[in-house]
Amino acid sequence: MRGRMKLTAACRGIEKFVFHFIVQSKTTQTKREFERPLFPANERQLLQEFCQICKVLNGCSFVKNWPNTRLSIHLGNDGRITNTGILPSDDEIALFLHRLRPIYLNNEQTNFNKIANLMSRHLADKEIAECVREWKRHYDGKASQDVFEIKILGNIINSGTFFDDYVNALEYHRDKDRRENIDAIAEHFPLEAQKPIFVLLLMMRLNAINKLASFLLTSFDREDGRPITIYVE
Tens digits of pLDDT across the chain (233 residues): 444 434 333 444 445 789 999 999 988 989 999 999 999 999 999 999 999 999 999 999 999 999 999 999 998 888 889 999 999 999 999 999 999 999 999 999 999 999 999 999 999 999 999 999 999 999 999 999 999 999 999 999 999 999 999 999 999 988 999 999 999 999 999 999 999 999 999 999 999 999 999 999 999 999 999 999 999 88
- Which pTM was predicted? 0.91
Bridge partners of 229, per DSSP, are 22
Give the phi and the psi of residue 79 in degrees, each rounded to 5. 90, -5
C-alpha span between 57 and 215 (Å, rounded):
17
**pLDDT given for residue 15 in this prediction:** 55
By CB atoms closer than 10 A (0-12, 13-18, 19+), residue 75 is: exposed
Other beta carbons within 10 angstroms of residue 66's beta carbon come to 14
What is the pairing mode between strands 227-232 and 18-25?
parallel
Q: Which has the closest alpha carbon to 151: 167, 138, 140, 162?
A: 162
**pLDDT given for residue 78 in this prediction:** 85
C-alpha span between 205 and 59 (Å, rounded):
15
What is the number of alpha carbons within 13 Å of residue 86 lying toward its C-beta?
7
